[in-house]
Chains A and B, each alone.
Chain A
Amino acid sequence: MKRLSDLDYLKLNKWQAFWYKFALFFCAIPSALWKGIKKIGGFFKNCGIAVKDEFVDIGSTFKRGNWAVKLSFFIFGFGNLFYGQVMRGILFLLFELVFIAYMVVPTGGIYWLSKGNWFQKGATIGTVQGGFQYNEVFDTDVWVPGDDSVKVMLYGLLTFIFIFAFIYTWRLQVKQCRICMDITAKGKKIRSGKDDVKSLLDDQFHKTLLALPLAGILAFTVLPIIYMVLVAFTSYDAAHDGYSNLFSWVGLDHFNELFNFSQGGLGLTFGEILSWTLMWAFFATFTNYFLGMFVAIMINKKGIKIKKFWRTVLVMTIAIPQFVSLLYVSKLFTTSGLIGRVLEQIPFIHNWRVANNFVSLWDSPTVARILLIVINIWIGIPYIMLMATGILMNIPQDLYESAKIDGASSVQQLTKITLPYMLFVTGPYLLTSFVGNLNNFNVIYLLSGGNPIKGTAGGASVGHTDLLITWLFKMTLGSTESKYYMASIIGILVFLVVAVLSLIVYNVIPSTRNEEDYK
Chain B
Amino acid sequence: MKKQNDNKIRKTGLGARASRRISNTIIYIVLIIITIVWLFPFVGILLESFKTETNMQTPYLFPKEFGFDHYVKLFTKTDFLKWFGNTAIMGVATAVLQTIFILSMSYVLSRLRFKGRKALMNMMLILGMFPGFLTMILIYKVFADAHLIEEMAPLGLIIVYCASSAMGYYVSKGFFDTIPKSLDEAARVDGATRFQVFYKVIMPLSKPIVIYTILMGFMAPWGDFVLASYLIHENSQGMNVAVGMYEWLSRTNMNTHYTMFCAAGVIVAIPVVAVFLALQKYYVEGVTGGAVKG
Contacts and interface: CB of A to CB of B under 8 A. Distances in A.
Contacts of B245: 323-324, 327
Interface in A403-436: 410, 425-426, 428-429, 435
B242 interface: yes
Contacts of A303: 20, 24
A172 interface: no
Interface in B120-158: 124, 126-127, 129-139, 141-142
Interface in B164-181: 164-167, 177-178, 180-181
B1 interface: no
Interface residues of A, number: 93
A231 interface: yes
Residue of A221, A304, A390 with most partner-chain B CB within 10 A: A221
A331 B258 contact: yes
A495 B288 contact: no
A168 to B, nearest CB: 13
Category for how many chain B residues contact A: 35 or more
A472 interface: yes
Contacts of B57: 336
A441 B228 CA distance: 14
A217 B45 CA distance: 39
A221 B135 contact: yes
B45 A386 contact: no
Interface string A199-223: 0011101101110111011011111
Interface string B190-232: 0001110010000000000000000000010011011001100
B163 A206 contact: no
Interface in B27-64: 27-28, 30-31, 34-35, 37-39, 41-42, 44-45, 56-57, 59, 61
Residue of A338, A383, A446 with most partner-chain B CB within 10 A: A338
A185 B112 CA distance: 32
Given A319-B277, A386-B288, A327 B246 contact: yes
A376 B166 CA distance: 28
Given A314-B38, A442-B223, A494 B131 contact: yes
Contacts of A258: none
A415 to B, nearest CB: 15
A518 B31 contact: no
Given A203-B194, A301-B27, A217 B164 contact: yes
Contacts of B230: 476-477
A313 interface: yes
A439 interface: yes
A221 B194 CA distance: 29
Nearest to B220: A321
A45 interface: no
B194 A390 contact: no
A491 B138 CA distance: 14
A208 B194 CA distance: 11
Interface in A138-156: 150, 154
Interface string B53-85: 000110101000000000000000000000000
A469 interface: yes
B192 to A, nearest CB: 9
A205 B195 contact: yes
A316 B272 CA distance: 10
B282 interface: no
A439 B129 CA distance: 10
B107 A209 contact: yes
Nearest to B162: A216
Contact of B141 (A150, A334, A391): A150
Contacts of A321: 219, 222-223, 241-242, 268-269, 272
Given A316-B38, A316-B273, A321-B223, A220 B159 contact: yes
A473 interface: yes
Nearest to B166: A213
Contacts of B283: 315, 318, 386
B56 A336 contact: yes
A203 B192 CA distance: 11
A449 to B, nearest CB: 10
Interface string B233-251: 0000000011001100100
A191 to B, nearest CB: 16
B155 to A, nearest CB: 14
A453 interface: no
A310 interface: yes
Nearest to A224: B135
Nearest to B134: A491
A221 B127 contact: yes
A295 interface: yes
Nearest to A392: B288
A484 interface: yes
A150 B132 CA distance: 20
A445 interface: yes
Given A386-B288, A389-B288, A332 B41 contact: yes
Residue of A214, A295, A341 with most partner-chain B CB within 10 A: A214
Contact of B108 (A209, A317, A390): A209
A225 B127 contact: yes
Residue of B56, B107, B246, B294 with most partner-chain A CB within 10 A: B294
25 contacts: A202-B193, A205-B112, A205-B194, A205-B195, A213-B166, A224-B136, A304-B28, A313-B39, A320-B272, A323-B223, A327-B245, A327-B249, A328-B44, A328-B265, A337-B56, A387-B288, A410-B23, A426-B291, A445-B225, A469-B131, A476-B136, A487-B134, A494-B131, A498-B129, A518-B293
The 5 closest A-B pairs by CB, nearest first: A390-B288, A213-B166, A224-B135, A216-B163, A220-B163
Given A217-B167, A220-B164, A222-B127, 19 more contacts: A202-B193, A205-B193, A210-B105, A228-B134, A315-B277, A318-B276, A319-B269, A321-B241, A325-B42, A331-B56, A336-B57, A378-B37, A378-B38, A386-B284, A390-B289, A445-B226, A495-B131, A515-B177, A518-B178
Interface of B: 20, 23-24, 27-28, 30-31, 34-35, 37-39, 41-42, 44-45, 56-57, 59, 61, 100-102, 104-105, 107-108, 112, 114, 124, 126-127, 129-139, 141-142, 159-160, 162-167, 177-178, 180-181, 193-195, 198, 219, 222-223, 225-226, 229-230, 241-242, 245-246, 249, 254, 258, 261-262, 265, 268-269, 272-273, 276-277, 280, 283-284, 287-289, 291-294
